[in-house]
Amino acid sequence: MKIVISDPAAKWFKEDFSMGKNDKIKFFSKVYGSSPVQENFALGFTAEDAPNKMAVKTERNGVEFFVEEEDVWFFDGHDLYVDYDEKEDELLFDYKK
């Protein structure tokens, strides 16, 4: 599994989510909602100061994006691609095998 953050998404995290150098964003599974990879579960994200057990990580513009071991099951073998839609002003999540 890998995490790919587009330039527009990295810019959004930096500007709109106020993330700077050495900050961390954790992607995690949450009950309620839905996703293309898990029924009844959605993807969430949060700023995280003290990661527990990183399974996958990537860095963009000084910000580290990661998934912990306990949430790898959610992706069901898919890679996570994060983009930003400026027109809709929202993040887009895509899952690719």
Pairwise CA distance, residues 52 & 15, whole Å: 26
What pLDDT does residue 40 have?
79
Percent of the chain at pLDDT exceeding 70: 100
Q: What is the CA radius of gyration of the chain?
A: 13
At 7 the pLDDT is 95
* pTM assigned to the model: 0.91
Confidence band (pLDDT; 50, 70, 90) for 72?
A: very high
Binned at pLDDT 50, 70 and 90, residue 38 comes out as confident
